[in-house]
Each structure stands twice: as C-alpha cells, then as structure tokens.
Amino acid sequence: MGNICTKFGGLQIKSPIIVGSNSQTASVSKLVEFEKAGAGAVVLKSLFEESITREVAANDIDMHPEAYDYLAGYLGEKVLSDYLDLIKQAKAQCSIPVIASIACHTDGKWEEFATRIEEAGADALELNVMSLCTARNYTPGDFEKMHEDIVANVSSRIRIPVIVKIGSNLSNPVALCDRLYAKGAKAVVLFNRFYPTDIDVDKIAFTTGNPFTCAADLSLPLRWAGLVSSAVPAVDLAVSGGVDSWKGVVKSILSGASAVEVASPIIRGGASWISEANDGLEKWQQEKGYESVNDYKGKLNAAEPENADKLMRTQFLKYFSEVH
C-alpha cells in the first residue's frame, strides 16, 4: 500500500479524495459506505441559506411583521436543528473527518450557525459562497469583500478550520484566496458549481441542464490551482469539478491541490469509484517512484516559469498552428 495521505485545511486525511457535498452526504449510511471505500473525508449536504428563506416563503401569509419574524426564526431553527442532528450522527459512526457545509450568498447569521455546528462536533466548516454579481451599480471589489466579510465573521467565532468554496466568476482568484487566508480561511476549494441553466425550446421555458460534471470541466480549476498554489502557498487547495478518474486526482495534485472534492462520479458509479481511484493513484505513485503525495504536489504549478507560461496562456493560435 502506497502512502496517499495528505493534509487539507489543517485536517490529516488518509486519501486526497473528499466526497463533496451532494444529496447522498445527507445519509449517514452512505457516509459509512464512503469511509469503507477509502474516502479521506466527507462534506455533508449543505445547509442552504435559500432553504431557510424558502421555508418561510412557503408559509407566506398576510401577518404582522413581528409574527412573520417569529415564523422565520422558528423555521430557521428547525432546519438548523435537523442539520446538527446529521452532524452528530455522522460523527458517531464515522472516524474520518466530517466537514459541515453552509451554502450562503449573503453575510448573515452564519456566525451563530457556525458556533452551533462546531458544538455539534463537525471537524471543519466549509462556507460555499454561491452568488452571482449582477448589480448594475456594482462597485469593483464589493463582491470579493462580501466573501472576506463572511469568512472573517465566521472564523472569529469558531476554532475548527474554515474552508471556503468559491465560484469561478471572479476577476482574480489569486488575490481573493490571499485575502481569504488573511481573514482566517485554512483552505479554498476551486470551484463551486452553480445550478445548470438550460432552456426547453418546445415549452419555451427554463429547465435544468446537465447536473453532472465531466472531464472537460477540470481545465479551469487546474489552471487556477496551479496559479494560486504558487502565489499563496500557505493556503491549502482542493479542486472540485471534472475529476472523473484517478488521473484527475493526480492532475489536481500536480497542479498544486492537496485534495479533490468529488460528487458526480460517485453519484453515477457508487462508492466503489473511490476505491478504484485510490488504487489508481497508489499504482501511479509507485510507478513514478513517489513515496507520498507531498513528493509531487505542485510539481507543475506556476512556480516554474515554463509552467507559468502554459497556465497563463489565453489563446489557441499556437496550438492550432501545430495541429495537422
């Protein structure tokens, strides 16, 4: 057995494969299955800011503002209470790190939620900042500052590691990752996945696009992992989106990531995908003569000028001129 242990966000994990937040990570029996298959850690299904507001909206009736606030508080407490129970059950049955997740798009009551999540026993907290910046009167920097404020407010209240999952809709992920680290983030995940929008031309209505990632999606997080890991080496990185085999895990580590968050291939192929990917990773390490993940982590990041040139390349002219 090769050594595929790694460190991510202050957590020591036995494999760089982390099961990302998805519908299956709300099931404790599935979490146990993922651990047996060799997952390094699991991210629980996210506690969505939207789910709380949606619960309130579903009970929308004409009422006094104070009564409405009471209802909002009651429903929010119920959603949180159920989530805290999931954390406790997961910790009771799993020995690998259990990472709680909050999907948020505003700087709201997450400080209070984070404290109770820590008290429930979570090993770390992932803040999945899912937001589109569409304001016409937008001031450059406001969107990034929202990320910083969320992280600063939460990390000041808890001792467990804070991990931030950011979107790719940012002008400069390198600078933001540096500032998030300064505000208390121990790790950053590149990148979250928005609701896939599509249009049904027969019904002339919006519909859901393909919910799963594919290997082609790996290109973007690979590029930014290579750039961020070189510029901000103190912050641990995980690649998310497009890892569909052990090769995707290797590519992510070579680019500078410490781990990967995977959901789509596990949903499609089951927990056995984890053990197969671990086996492929171990075999590749042995064939290349690497004793551990650290031996090759970041080997192809932007620290080397030759690698930086490839990671920074933004046009195809040279490539297409060489293809016959």
Q: What domains, with CATH codes, occur in the chain?
A: 6-322 (3.20.20.70)
Q: What is the pLDDT of residue 319?
A: 53
Q: Name the more confident of 185 and 54.
A: 185
C-alpha distances (whole Å) from 170 to each of 129, 229, 273 are: 12, 17, 32
Residue 112 — pLDDT band, cuts 50, 70, 90?
A: confident
Q: What is the pLDDT of residue 245?
A: 97
C-alpha distances (whole Å) from 296 to each of 53, 175, 271, 293, 307 are: 45, 25, 26, 6, 14
C-alpha distances (whole Å) from 292 to each of 1, 2, 246, 305 are: 11, 7, 15, 25
Task: Give the pTM.
Answer: 0.90
Q: What is the pLDDT of residue 137?
A: 85
pLDDT digits (tens, 9 = 90+) for 55-77: 555 555 444 444 434 444 545 68
Average pLDDT, the chain: 88
Q: Which of 20-24, 200-204, 208-212, 273-277 has the lowest mean pLDDT?
A: 208-212
Q: What is the pLDDT of residue 138?
A: 80
Q: Using DSSP, state whether 121 is helix, strand or coil.
A: coil
C-alpha distances (whole Å) from 248 to each of 45, 255, 266 are: 23, 11, 14
pLDDT digits (tens, 9 = 90+) for 155-196: 999 999 999 999 998 889 999 999 999 999 999 999 998 878
**Beta strands 259-262; 41-43: pairing state:** unpaired
C-alpha distances (whole Å) from 151 to each of 7, 227, 256 are: 21, 22, 23
